[in-house]
Amino acid sequence: MSAINPLGTSTQSTTQGSSLGGLTQNNFLQLLVAQMQNQDPLNPMSSDQFLQEMASFTEVVDLGQLQQLTQSLVNNEVASQGLQLLGRTVTAVDPSSGQSVSGTVSALTMQNGQPMLTIGSAQLPVSSVVTVQ
């Protein structure tokens, strides 16, 4: 019997809007245009300040995209681990009930972007596997 060391990462996906507190790139551009239209003509926003705000927002958007790509890579790695478990006898802990489930892995499916193993009649995430026989 060998233990599996799952990655144990969250598979919660984030969208560009939610990672920015609901602010999308379109919202940001609308706010920036409104700011420029309503600025004091005697004390206008400097081009340096404008470029700094654009660069900051672009950086946040890029980080959100990087996070999504990284999560996709993690999901692919976990799915690959799950494929290696097909036909093997495993023990997993059901995250919803905390109960131990043992049996032969008969299928690997994707549900909401998360790889799930079919063990008997149970559908469990690959990351819930604790032992492999």
- What pLDDT is recorded for position 21? 63
Q: Where are the domains of the chain?
A: 14-84, 86-133
Instruction: Give how far Cα 24 sits from Cα of 16, 18, 51, 109, Å.
Output: 7, 8, 18, 32
Helix axes 47-84, 25-37, angle to 10 degrees: 170
Torsion of Cα atoms, 20 then 127 then 119 then 104, to 10°:
150
For the chain, the residue count is 133
pTM of the model: 0.51
**Can you tell me the distance from the alpha carbon of 2 to that of 8, in angstroms, rounded to the nearest whole number?**
17
Query: Average pLDDT, stretch 48-77?
Result: 85
Local confidence band at 6 (pLDDT 50, 70, 90 cut-offs)? very low
| pLDDT, tens only, 64-107 | 889 989 988 988 888 888 889 999 999 999 998 999 999 999 99
| pLDDT, tens only, 19-47 | 456 667 778 778 878 887 888 878 777 77
Tell me which residue of 124, 130, 127 sits closest to 74, measured CA to CA. 127
- What pLDDT is recorded for position 88? 94
Report the SS3 class of residue 89: strand
- The alpha carbon of residue 59 and the mean position of all alpha carbons in its chain are separated, in whole angstroms, by 18
Residue type, 43: N
